[in-house]
Amino acid sequence: MPSGDPNQTTDFGYQEVPLAEKAQRVRAVFESVAGNYDLMNDLMSGGAHRLWKRFTLSQTGLRPGHRALDVAGGTGDLAAGMAAQVGDSGLVVLTDINAAMLSEGRDALTDRGLVGNVRCSLANAERLPFPDASFDCVTIGFGLRNVTDKQAALQSMARVLKPGGQLLILEFSHPTAPGLKPIYDAYSFSVLPWLGKVVAKDEASYRYLAESIRRFPNQDSLLGMMQSAGLENCRYHNLSGGIVALHRGYKL
């Protein structure tokens, strides 16, 4: 967990900031981008984020009656997909630490007619307010890199998994396809901030998002962090040449 040591710092994009300030700065970013979040995701990825999420949903193993948790779930795409998988007898809980994002997610789920088997909860991924062994599957999509203490979040998500339950982490990662990295870097640091400036009227937030991707652990490092959190049978799938990776691990 983050300590109160005023000399301790962490990354906020390419900046080093006091540990206690990161959550507040990330909250400000997502309060700014919440209203344009889905539109910007479509523009930034050319719609590919929908395919990445569809693949993630294909790996949940959820069945009717199961319980699932979507952490840092934003506008609820993964939560909506899991709600269809668990059916009326199951339950999906959508959480986010940011009230503006959670409000967007709640509205999006309501617009899809998902109200009976979905709940929303304002929650910190590092300290999830649920009992041990509560969920058959936990997902976090494009949220872990914004968490201050990533190891604490992994341990918290592992704690609330039932024995045999699975954690799925969908996140931007490090390109592995030959020749892709320089193209991806040029796109991230030129096109993304420009889109943020023109569409969302917020260039700085999208520059932070690009920087946060570069500071995120690579595929094998995240795998090791999952194992350190007590998860077993951990592995990952590279998507789009490693631009995105889906990591998976089980609570045994």
Q: What does the domain layout of the chain look like in residue ranges?
A: 19-176+209-250
The pLDDT value recorded for residue 23 is 82
In the predicted structure, residue 40 carries a pLDDT above the cut 90: no
Measuring CA to CA, which residue among 125, 167, 131, 171 is closest to residue 148? Answer: 125
pLDDT of residue 159: 98
Distance CA 225, CA 223 (A): 5
Does pLDDT of 35 surpass 90? no
Does pLDDT of 1 surpass 50?
no
pTM for the whole thing?
Answer: 0.91
Residue 108 tokens read as: 């999006």
Contacts of 57 (CB under 8 A, 6+ apart): 78, 81, 82, 85
Name the pLDDT band for 83 (thresholds 50, 70, 90).
very high
Percent of the chain clearing pLDDT 70 (strictly above): 97
Please give the pLDDT value at position 131. 98
Q: Which CATH number fits domain 19-176+209-250: 2.60.40.60, 1.10.8.100, 3.90.1150.10, 3.40.50.150?
A: 3.40.50.150
Averaged pLDDT of the chain: 92
